[in-house]
Amino acid sequence: MGVHRAAAARRGRHPARRVRRTGAAPAPRPHERPSWGSQWGSQWGSQRGAGLRRRAIPQPMTQPTSRPMTCPATIMVVGDSLSHGSDGDYTWRYRLARHFAARGAPVRFTGPWTGTRAPPRAHRSPPHAHRSPVGGYRPGIGFPGDRHYARWGRLMEEARRNIADAVAAHRPGHLLVALGFNDLAWGVSGPDRLLAHVAEFVDRARAVRPDLRFLVADVVHRTPLPSLSHLPGITEAYNARLPGLLAALSTPRSPVVPVGLAAVYDPYADTYDGLHPGLAGEFTIAKAFAGAFLPALVAGRAG
């Protein structure tokens, strides 16, 4: 995404209590154990940053039934910086993978890329100082099979044109899509054009695999910036119309499911710079996608 990214931000490791209007993040604070209740505190297996503004945390989703889950689900995350992450992040993709593993859900991630955004060249150590290496995750964690199709600055305008090739090459059964912020914030598309591109994205991907299943997130809000005073209005307009479009695109063989991120993602509590997810934001995004995705697995519709 990269819109007004704060130079001093610590890449999401310590969510800010409240982000300054300049976008700079406060100094990191010590961690504390999450106060989400025993279910999510234990299942997600991590810590929530201290100093967050109090807000209502979404309730844990219902427990899965005992119906067996058959073949592994193959997931491709299609997104921008919120999904890609920066060097040293956990990422919400990792949180989602951990949650699936804890529940015994047979899931495999696919896509052309791995890792996170590489650190700036000035921070790279020899002999790789002149390369563009893939960024890593938080030291000490393991994320095998971390493939994805997310990149900083990604646009739906771009993704609609190359999604068919990616589906043909990597054969996902499910697309988890979180795009659109850059299209709106950078003036590439307004709500009408962005909705048309979402429809084209679905049609082109489905032409390659007619039984492909989609989970499509709406666009999150960021903290206010004078240069983007128009953004809240057009984001609301797009988000209000997206569920209707997705319902119209959905078929019994190839469902298109909305994922409501905007309603649960708090740019003051969930981010480190007013937009990109910190520790709390990673959980918020992962939980929203898991809540929409796991019922399909429980029903045995993995692919």
- pLDDT tens per residue, range 40-55: 333 333 333 333 454 4
Task: Assess if residue 236 is contained within a domain.
Answer: no
CATH number at residue 256: 3.40.50.1110
pLDDT, residue 120, reads 82
- pLDDT tens per residue, range 76-98: 999 999 999 999 999 999 999 99
Strand ranges (E), 87-160: 107-109, 149-150
Q: Which residue has the higher pLDDT, 122 or 37?
A: 122
- pLDDT tens per residue, range 175-225: 999 999 999 999 999 999 999 999 999 999 999 999 999 999 999 999 999
Average of pLDDT values for 131-150? 88
Tell whether the model's pLDDT for residue 129 goes beyond 90. no
Task: Assess if residue 254 is contained within a domain.
Answer: yes
- pLDDT tens per residue, range 277-290: 999 999 999 999 99
Of 6, 69, 64, 39, which Cα lies nearest the Cα of 276?
6
Task: Assess if residue 96 is contained within a domain.
Answer: yes
Residues 39 and 49: beta-carbon distance below 8 Å: no
Residue 296 pLDDT grade (very low, low, confident, very high; cuts 50, 70, 90): low
Residues in a beta bridge with 135 = 116
Of 227, 278, 230, 285, which Cα lies nearest the Cα of 31?
278
Q: What is the pTM of this model?
A: 0.77
Q: For the chain, what is the domain count?
A: 1
DSSP element (H, E) containing 292 = helix 279-298
Task: Assess if residue 247 is contained within a domain.
Answer: yes
pLDDT, residue 8, reads 39
Task: Assess if residue 38 is contained within a domain.
Answer: no
- Residue 219: strand, helix, or coil: coil
- Please tell me the number of Cα atoms within 13 Å of 209 on its side-chain side: 22
Residue 66 pLDDT grade (very low, low, confident, very high; cuts 50, 70, 90): very low
Q: Which domain holds residue 217?
A: 72-117+134-223+242-298
Segments in 155-226 forming alpha helices (H): 156-170, 181-185, 191-208
Task: Assess if residue 229 is contained within a domain.
Answer: no
Q: How much of the chain, in percent, has pLDDT values that exceed 70?
A: 69
Counted residue by residue, the chain has a size of: 303
Task: Assess if residue 15 is contained within a domain.
Answer: no
Per the prediction, the chain carries an average pLDDT of 79
- pLDDT tens per residue, range 228-238: 999 999 999 99
pLDDT, residue 125, reads 53
- Residue 242: strand, helix, or coil: helix
pLDDT, residue 165, reads 98
pLDDT, residue 85, reads 97
Tell whether the model's pLDDT for residue 71 goes beyond 90. no
**Lowest-pLDDT choice from 5-14, 129-138, 194-203:** 5-14
Tell whether the model's pLDDT for residue 75 goes beyond 60. yes
Task: Assess if residue 147 is contained within a domain.
Answer: yes
Residue 64 pLDDT grade (very low, low, confident, very high; cuts 50, 70, 90): very low
Give CA torsion, residues 192, 161, 244, 268, to 10 deg.
-80
Of 184, 242, 185, 194, which Cα lies nearest the Cα of 214?
242
